[in-house]
Amino acid sequence: MFRQVFFGPLIQTNDKEELIIKESVAIFVDNGKITWILENPKDHEKEFQIEWRIWDGIKVLSRGQFMMPGFIDAHTHAVQFPNLGLGYNKGLLDWLETYTFPLEKKYSDTDFAERVFEAVVKRTIKMGTTTACYFASLYVDACAILAKKTAELGQRAFIGKVNMNIPRDDGYCESTLTSVVDTIDFIKSLEIIGNPLVKPIITPRFALSCDMELMQKLAEIAKTKDVHVQSHVSENKDEIMAVKQAFPHLPSYTAVYDAAGLLTNKTVLAHGVYLEDSELAILKERGTAVIHCPSSNTNLKSGLCDVQRLKANGIKIGLGTDVSGAASYSMLNEMRSVLQVSNCLSLTRDNYTPLSYKDVFHMATLGGAKALAIDDKVGNLMMGKEFDALIVDMNAEGSLLDNFKEYTLEENLQRFIYAGDERNIISVYVKGKQVK
Ligand code: GUN
Ligand code: FE
């Protein structure tokens, strides 16, 4: 057995979305799993002196440092990293045609996929993303490469083979048969590898890329294999209109996915900017989560998503960078975008309470875990969960922040969220293994 113990302050949220701050804890980790959390370990120093020789890894945090759960990026496109910062003069559908699809087509070249995905996984880990939910590629070989990179580099990940069977002039699409066979093959290949950190996720791109037959078949696979599902929903007004034209007999965008059987409590839908009340009722009923992607929604001028409304309707909310809709793969940046969008909404509405830094901290950690239905394993550092954690250091080398005075832990959390960056994340752990 490999035992570790981490001594220091801990900041996280709980199931009630409350901020929990502990000045001093000892977290005991056996084979990556948290087996015991002791508060105020100094009171028990004598016992430790005798015992701690048997532990393999002891980490004592210094002043200005604290532990927190790792970030969960619940929606990002690994293939789109080469386009970071490009094309925001367009709206969603034009942007997809002009920038995104031509780039994504290049991943039939596995050397290109190797190069990009190595960088994607290394860079997101550096930013503190311990779990990433990826749209991988249309091409199954490229998907396998992303799965291999996350496994090698130690990131927890969902890897989605993208499904698109609506014919296109440029050939960036696939037949229904290929889509289904490749999806099953990909799931089987991950089953054989059996890495508990790297899971497949069924990924119909959106209702404009897949017909009902394919979506139904994918829903069937998700059910038989008991795997997650991800897609996009209600992101942009032109997109929503096109979906209504493509599925005239169905009452809403959400109803299309529901008719296919794609909505479960292991389904995550990105954006959800313009969801109608009837759609919220379906999502609530199915236990399906919405992944908020505020940077992408503003870059592509998709809209301002009202997260308070989704929350009030009992919808689970995660947070996603949606690279390259976002120009940054940093969850800290994404958290700031949430706050900016929420503040903007509060300026245009009466009696609107904007989200707080505590809310976004929850969304980026336990909220994401709940959205992905992995909160039995990650999202905060509780007994029985796995140790997916960051060590944040407000005195880190190269930090953008100085410490001219004393700060409380809660102040340091605020400073980290609003003004810190990856240089303040000095260590990253996934299931107890240090990956940064
Ligand atoms: N809808 C369908 N595909 C995409 C994509 O790649 N990015 C975003 N933001 N929305 C989409
Ligand atoms: Fe997306």
CATH code reported for the domain at 4-69+380-434: 2.30.40.10
In this structure, is the dihedral angle defined by the CA atoms of residues 225, 226, 227 and 233, taken in order, positive or negative? positive
The pLDDT, as a whole number, for residue 51 is 61
262 Cα–ligand 1 center, Å: 18
**Ligand nearest the Cα atom of residue 269:** 2
Give exposure, 10-48, as e/b (b: 16+ Cβ within 10 Å).
bbbbeeeeebeebeebbbbbbebebeebbeebeeeeeeb
CA–CA separation, 335 and 312 (whole Å): 20
> Amino acid letter at 370?
K
Task: Provide the token pair at 269.
Answer: 């839908």
Please state the length of the chain. Answer: 436
Tell me the ligand closest to 322's alpha carbon: 2
Strand 65-69 and strand 389-393: pairing?
Answer: antiparallel
Ligand 1 geometric centre to CA of 112 (Å): 21
Degrees, nearest 5: CA angle 338-19-418: 40
Q: Check residue 86 and give its pLDDT.
A: 97
If we measure between CA atoms, which residue out of 158, 276, 263 comes closest to residue 218? 263
Indicate the top mutation candidate among 166, 172, 205 to test ligand 1's pocket, ranked by most ligand atoms within 8 A of CB: 205
pLDDT single digits (tens) 218-258: 999 999 999 999 999 999 999 999 999 999 999 999 999 99
Per domain, the residue ranges of the chain are 4-69+380-434, 71-372
Q: What is the whole-number distance in angstroms between the Cα of residue 383 and the centre of ligand 2? A: 33
ipTM of predicted assembly, 2 dp:
0.99
Strands (E), 170-266: 198-204, 228-233
Token look-up 């292991």 returns: 266
Atom 7 in ligand 1: which residue has the minimum CA distance? 325
Are domains 4-69+380-434 and 71-372 of this chain identical in fold?
Answer: no
Of 368, 435, 334, 78, residue with least CA distance to 228: 368
pLDDT of amino acid 274:
98
Measuring CA to CA, which residue among 120, 153, 160, 155 is closest to residue 139?
A: 160
Copy the structure tokens of residue 337: 């975008």
d(CA 29, CA 39): 15
Relative to the CA of 235, which ligand 1 atom is closest?
A: 10
Q: Take residue 117 and report the two structure tokens written for it.
A: 């995905």
Runs of H (alpha helix) within 37-160: 45-51, 92-95, 101-104, 110-126, 140-153
Q: What is the CATH number of domain 71-372?
A: 3.20.20.140
Residue 323 Cα to ligand 1 midpoint, Å, equals 9
Q: Name residues of the chain where pLDDT drops below 70.
A: 48-56
For residue 10, the CA-to-ligand 1 centroid distance in Å is: 36
Separation between Cα atoms, residue 223 and residue 191, nearest integer Å: 15
Pocket test for ligand 1, best of 92, 105, 324 (most atoms within 8 A of CB): 92
Per-residue model confidence (pLDDT) at position 334: 98
The residue among 361, 277, 353, 278 whose CA lies nearest residue 317 is: 361
Spatial distance between the Cα atoms of 136 and 133, rounded to a whole number of angstroms: 9
Which residue's CA is minimally distant from atom 11 of ligand 1?
232
Confidence (pLDDT) at 434: 97
Q: CB under 8 Å to 153, separation ≥6 — which residues?
A: 121, 122, 125, 435
Residues sharing a CB contact under 8 Å with residue 292, sequence separation 6 or more, in sequence order: 271, 272, 305, 307, 310, 317, 318, 319, 320, 338, 363
Index of the ligand 1 atom closest to the CA of residue 209: 2
**Ligand 1 neighbours (beta carbon < 6 A):** 77, 92, 96, 100, 205-206, 232, 235, 296, 322, 325
Residues 6+ apart with CB under 8 A from 248: none
Find the helix packing angle between 212-225 and 176-193, rounded to 10°: 20
The string of DSSP codes covering 138-155 is: SSHHHHHHHHHHHHHHT-
Instruction: Tell me if 153 sits within 8 A of 435, measured CB to CB.
Output: yes
Q: How far is the CA of 77 from the centre of ligand 2 (A)?
A: 6
- CA 62 from centroid of its chain's CA atoms: 29
